[in-house]
Amino acid sequence: MQSSGHRFRDVEHHPLLTENDSYDSSSSEADMADRVWFIRDGCGMVCAIMTWLLVVYADFVVTFVMLLPSKDFWYSVINGVLFNCLAVLALSSHLRTMLTDPGAVPKGNATKEYMESLQLKPGEVIYKCPKCCSIKPERAHHCSICKRCIRKMDHHCPWVNNCVGEKNQRFFVLFTMYIALISAHALILCGFQFFSCVRGQWIECSDFSPPVTVILMIFLCLEGFLFLTFTAVMFGTQIHSICNDETEIERLKSEKPTWERRLRWEGMKSVFGGQPSLLWINPFAGFRIRRLLLRAKKGGPEFSV
């Protein structure tokens, strides 16, 4: 990897590990692929649980306060199926973002033996992260919460209790998209419900009393508005970053690209994989339950903090 000026801001210069220094071989790339990724961060776990509870609350209000009491059967069925499908896709995307290795560099691989195996050319420069003792690839940044260097790290998001990086950015984009969609759907249903209740003078408007119905719907409107605003902005910034092949950290640090940039559709295809298809919006694509169970049997969470 050729030396570049902006890399010196991220890396301190320390000697490589000697033969006597410890290096856990269980953190190799092959073993990393066979273990479950989960970050034991208190704030992140609380935020992740809150995300699920808020989605469940929205589903409860939409289903039991607005749709089931409705006299229009097809209105209830269509909107109920649509909302619940979007909610399942949103929570599935959240799980995949949280439990997918974002692109962690093996910890402690800066050994003399590993260096010799790279067969570096004269004048070729590499960097070692002093915090996790790993060879730092280009565009990798160290996360103080995950305690790892993450390839193409965009940012650490407490709401998914994980970094957003090279391997899970696709799922994070889907998460923000589906949350924005169910938030917009909930706001539209709230508008129709308020109009219907006011027109019918709150008679047979809901199985709950009018004050309780109003309170539940007001909280849902506030939640929907905040989630829609946040996730829509985040979705837009993520798509912009992908199309410009520039992470949020690189943008904030004004790092000049030393890599061959993949712009627009090339960037989208590199993140979502292959040509545009329905697989792009499917958070279950590539998921194997049997492989996940095998990973769990091999030692549980490998990358816990």
List residues with catalytic annotation: 157
Other C-beta atoms lying within 10 Å of the C-beta of residue 85: 12
Work out whether strand 134-136 and strand 140-143 pair parallel, antiparallel, or are unpaired: unpaired
Residues contacting residue 183 through CB under 8 Å, at least 6 positions apart: 58, 223, 224, 225, 227, 228, 231
Please give the structure tokens belonging to residue 276: 């545009």
Q: What share of the chain is helix, strand, coil (3-state, %, to 5)?
A: 55, 10, 40
DSSP per-residue letters across 181-239: HHHHHHHHHHHHHHHHHHHTTTSSS-SS-HHHHHHHHHHHHHHHHHHHHHHHHHHHHHH
Please give the structure tokens belonging to residue 297: 């049997």
Q: Compute CA distances 203 → 76, 206, 211, whole Å.
A: 18, 8, 12
Residue 138: burial class (beta carbons within 10 Å; 0-12, 13-18, 19+):
middle
